[in-house]
Amino acid sequence: MFQQHQDTYPTLARIARDYLAIQGSGTPSERTFSSAGLTDTKRRNRLKPEMFDALQILKAAYRNGHISADQQAAEHITDLRKTLEDYYFGDEEAADDSETEDEGTSPQMME
């Protein structure tokens, strides 16, 4: 349309080319809407807005490298190992201590 009138209105034609060439949406905003579409599914249609926002923020943090799933997994594995060691080996030490105490006290000594 402006090509027909660019000789009559050259300044307006240049302005129109400059502003009409600007892309309406960028990749980051499209990615956000795409991600939101993946979060808001038929199975998750009962999510409260606060939870939906939290999920979107969490996904963006993972995507941008602010949160590392590998690091969190390593921390969970370390915690789990410690818990298991305390459970299995901690009880053995406590059992060894109680056996030693039991050996020192006999029914005859208690009388």
Q: Verify that 75 and 46 share a domain, yes or no.
A: no
Residue 83 lies in a domain: yes
* Residue bearing tokens 């056996």: 99
Of residues 63 and 17, more confidence is placed in: 63
Task: Read off the tokens for 98.
Answer: 């109680």
pLDDT higher than 50, residue 106:
no
The CA dihedral of 4, 6, 8, 12, to the nearest 10 degrees, is 130
**Residue type (1 letter), 9:** Y
Q: Verify that 38 and 63 share a domain, yes or no.
A: yes
pTM of the model: 0.35
Residue 53 lies in a domain: yes
Q: Kindly report the average pLDDT of the chain as a whole number.
A: 73
Q: Verify that 63 and 73 share a domain, yes or no.
A: no
Of residues 81 and 3, more confidence is placed in: 81
Sign, CA dihedral 50-54-55-60, equals positive
Q: Verify that 57 and 82 share a domain, yes or no.
A: no
Residue 40 lies in a domain: yes
Residue 4 lies in a domain: no
Q: Verify that 86 and 96 share a domain, yes or no.
A: yes
Of residues 99 and 53, more confidence is placed in: 53
Q: Verify that 72 and 62 share a domain, yes or no.
A: no
Task: Read off the tokens for 99.
Answer: 């056996």
* Number of domains making up the chain: 2
Task: Read off the tokens for 51.
Answer: 């939870």
Q: Verify that 82 and 93 share a domain, yes or no.
A: yes
For the segment 20-46, what is each residue's pLDDT rounded down to a tens digit? Answer: 766 665 666 666 667 777 667 666 677
Q: Please give the average per-residue pLDDT across 82-100, as a whole number.
A: 72
Domain range spanning residue 46? 29-67
Number of helices followed by number of strands (H, E) in the chain: 6, 0
Question: What pLDDT does residue 80 have?
Answer: 92
pLDDT higher than 80, residue 75:
yes
Confidence of residue 2 (pLDDT cuts 50, 70, 90): low
